[in-house]
Each structure stands twice: as structure tokens, then as C-alpha cells.
A and B are shown apart, each in its own frame.
Chain A
Amino acid sequence: MSAFRLAIINTGAANIHSVEKAVRVVGGDPVVTTSAETISDAHAAILPGVGANDAVMQQLNDRELPETIRDFAASGRPLLCVCLGMQILFESSEEGKLPGLGILPGKVIRFAADLTNADGDKLKVPHMGWNTVRFLDDEVPRHPTFDGIPQDAFFYFVHSYHCRADNPEDIAATSPHGIEVCAAVVHDNVVGTQFHPEKSGRSGLQIYAKFLEFARRTEWRTK
């Protein structure tokens, strides 16, 4: 019997350690890795990321990981992508030249410079701080990773670009910042959050706990 193997894909991004700490605190035992073999061998994976599109894609390209991650996603095993990790699921980003993983159709675009709220007040970019997240439960069944999260719970965001999914059914949750910002995506086994669960206190840790629970239940055995 093989133990449950969880890989955190090391994108060289600054939040990798926070993600690892959050996963550990909810009982996970992840391995942080850049090895294609370790990723391919895992039962579930987390793709974190902050910073710039090209910096992270370059890291992945240098290690020939995009194909590994695409294969992993296509295999049906649980994959949780956080912040920039979610953005690179799409095909391209206005933030850089390097294409994304192309696992989800759509692109990543910059917030408009003249962003305003309903009262006409100017909104800041980056979208930074705690914002409410609303799950589109009528359109998309709630993924087990988000079980028990109340509507309009607060999560911590920090980003200047946002995802525009071609398939509206890939959008699982939104958050208001001038526009309805894509806050979470779900496509079968692939889950993404624009916000940082690892910096969102209790609710954020719950997401990691639920993802782990889901991943273990899925009981994928690669070998």
C-alpha cells in the first residue's frame, strides 16, 4: 500500500512556504518539488504562485513542467491552483509574453485603470485586501474543496490581473471589485482560487483541509 502523496509544485514563487505551512497545519504532508517524476507520481498536487506570469512560466518551462502539469490535470487527479497558479491555467496573460498552461480556455487581463465602484469611487489596483467571495451555486455545483464556506465569506486577495474564462461554467465564484472578478474556477478535478487561502485565516485553512479530504477520498493511485 502506498501512502497518499501530495506534491506542491515549486514555481519559485514567494508564497510557496506559506502554502506548505498551511497544508501542514491541516494535517497534510506535502513534498515541495520541481521534479516531473515526483509530480507525475503524486495523488494530488498544488500549484501556488505569486509575482509575474513570465517569471513563473519561465521556471516551469526551464524544467519542462508544463507538459507534466497538463498530463496531471488530464489524468483526473485533484489539482489546486492558487493565485498566479490559477492564472497560468489559462492560455495567455497580458502580464507577459509567455503562454500559460492552456488547461482552461481564456486569458488573463489587467484591471482597467479607471475602475470604479457602484458609487463612482475610484478603485485601487492591485486589488489588495479582504474581499467577499460569492459562489455561483446556481450555475456550478459546489466543489467539495469549497464545502461549508458561507456565501460572502472574506478572503485575502492581491493581484493586478484577473482571469477571463471563455467558458462561463468554469467560473465557480466571483468577488466584486468594480467588476465581478473571477475568484475561483472549477473544471472537473482542477480547482483554482484567485485569493490566497493560506493568508485568509480560518476560512482559508478550511479550503486546504477540504481539498486534502477530497484528494484523499478520490483515492487516485497512479501506480
Chain B
Amino acid sequence: MLTNRVIPCLDVDLGRVVKGVSFVDIQDAGDPAELAELYNSEGADELVFLDITASSDERNTMVDVVERVSTEVFIPLTVGGGIRSRDDMGRMLEAGAEKVSVNSAAVADPNLIEDCARDFGSQCVVLAIDAQRRNGAPDWQVYTHGGRRGTEMGAIEWAIRGAELGAGELLVTSMDADGQQTGYDIDLLRTISDQVSVPLIASGGAGKVEHFADAIKDGGADAVLAASLFHYGTLRISDVKAHMAEVGLPVRPVDEAA
């Protein structure tokens, strides 16, 4: 049966993976291809590369990264960060990405989702949503520009609309939970998964193996994403998958990947 995916996210700045990495078995912790290969061999079901390069002039470095990684690692790659247009998306797909995520640009112009879905297919359009809870109520506000800019949009409405416009998948990050390591925002995930039929990737808040399983069991997510937890080696992908299997969630065995 269809398995729940475990997805490491790698932040890339000027073509190099940033954030400290404490793996002992790789030579160059900043090299995207080497890290991608490591995660692949450890059982990652997919990889997400997030371009955090500040200057748009230097965004071409990301195309090279995708080009290189996709020549060496044959699992799905999602690329996000700084995607502003249909052409930006086309370039990433051409370089070898399987999916491209849009965030701020889609908020500014929701037609972007529709255009990209029509030209490239829904399956490669991921809508990334950064959401923050409003006053503790079960209501979330959409933020853009890496969480720096608030919008008037509600995250639930935006998720529903995004799927209607043609997004084939949602990558939902709870800004409240992100970095706290106290678990994903289950309410946020559940509210969206109850109302949207496209696959949902949970992001933000994972701290221990139980959190991943909770996001799927209680939050209704199809895939779980984490960044620093894996980067710093706090948890290995195999730990997460072992726990998920233990509590009865279908996972692709790590030895299938090695």
C-alpha cells in the first residue's frame, strides 16, 4: 500500500547546504549532492531543497544544485524558495526537479498555481503555506517572505483554494511549532486534511519520533518533513521509520533504499 513519506529538508544558500551538520560519514557537509546521497541511502523518500539565497541575482546557483543532485540521486526532488514565475518553475523542472513549491509568489498572484498546473501538471506544483495561529483560536494566518510578512489570508481557506487552483500537494509549516521541537501543529494539519483531498506534507515542530507518527495518525498528513532534526543528527530517518512501522504506519523499508 501507499506508504507515508519521510522527507528531509535542506536549506541551500548560494549553492551550499547551510546549518551545521554533524554526520561523521561524509566529507563535505555543505555539498548538496553528497548530503542528498546520504539521505537517500538512509531511506529518505523524497528530498526538499529550499533556496534561501537572499539575492535573486544569484538564484541560478540553485539550478546547478538541482542539475547535479538529480544526476546522482534518483528519488523525487522538490525545490522551493524564490520561485516567482512559470518560467522559474520550468527551469527547475528542466534541471531535474520532480516538483516545485511556490509560496509568496502564489499568494501575490494565485493564477501562478493555475498556470503552472496547466503547463506542467498538478503533480509538480506544491503549494507551500507558512501559517501562524491567530490568538490561540483554531484559525491560522498566512505569512509570506519566509514568515516575515503577514497577510490577510486564512491558511485553511488558502489551502482549499490552492488545491482547487491545481496544486497537487500542500506543504504546511506551522510557524508556532517551527523550531520548538514540541510536535507538529496537529489542529492545523487535521483542519486542512479534513477539507482538502490532495496530499499534505507536515512541517515544523518535530522533536522526537512520536511527533512524526502523530502528524500522520492525528493530523491526517501523508508525509512528514523535518530539517534541523536530521541535519544535526538528533534523529536519523531510520529511527523515524522504525517508530512509524512500530505503531502500524506503512513505510518504505530503509533497506529498499540502500
Contact = CB atoms under 8 A, between A and B. Distances in A.
Contact of B95 (A17, A55, A158): A17
Nearest to B124: A14
Given A50-B121, A51-B119, A154-B252, 13 more contacts: A17-B70, A21-B96, A22-B74, A123-B2, A126-B169, A128-B222, A129-B2, A129-B222, A129-B223, A130-B3, A160-B123, A196-B98, A201-B74
- By secondary structure, the A interface counts as mixed
Interface string B94-128: 11101000000000000000000011111110000
A196 B123 CA distance: 12
B75 A201 contact: yes
Given A15-B98, A18-B96, A177-B2, A130 B123 contact: no
A113 B2 contact: no
A198 B74 CA distance: 6
A17 B118 contact: no
Contacts of B253: 154
Contact of A124 (B71, B93, B198, B257): B198
A209 B78 CA distance: 25
Nearest to B168: A126
Interface residues of A, number: 42
Contacts of A158: 76, 98, 123, 168
Contact of B98 (A18, A125, A202, A204): A18
B123 A17 contact: no
B154 interface: no
Contact of B1 (A50, A176, A199): A176
Given A18-B70, A176-B1, A52 B197 contact: no
Given A50-B124, A52-B121, A153-B256, A131 B74 contact: no
Contacts of A123: 2
B1 A117 contact: yes
A125 B252 CA distance: 19
A127 B123 CA distance: 10
B45 interface: yes
B40 interface: yes
A25 interface: yes
B144 to A, nearest CB: 25
Contacts of B5: 129-130
A124 B196 CA distance: 9
A200 B90 CA distance: 22
B197 A200 contact: no
Contacts of A51: 119-121, 123-124
Q: Which of B1, B70, B199 has the most CB of A within 10 A?
A: B1
Contact of B120 (A14, A25, A198, A203): A14
A128 B123 contact: yes
B1 A131 contact: yes
B3 A154 contact: yes
Interface string B246-258: 0000001100111
A159 interface: yes
Nearest to B121: A51
Interface string B73-101: 01110000000000000100111101000
B58 to A, nearest CB: 23
A124 B122 CA distance: 14
A135 interface: no
A68 interface: no
Interface string A127-161: 11111100000000000000000000110111110
A177 to B, nearest CB: 6
A200 B74 contact: yes
A125 B198 contact: yes
Nearest to B256: A154
Nearest to A198: B74
A124 B200 CA distance: 9
Contact of B122 (A126, A131, A196, A200): A126
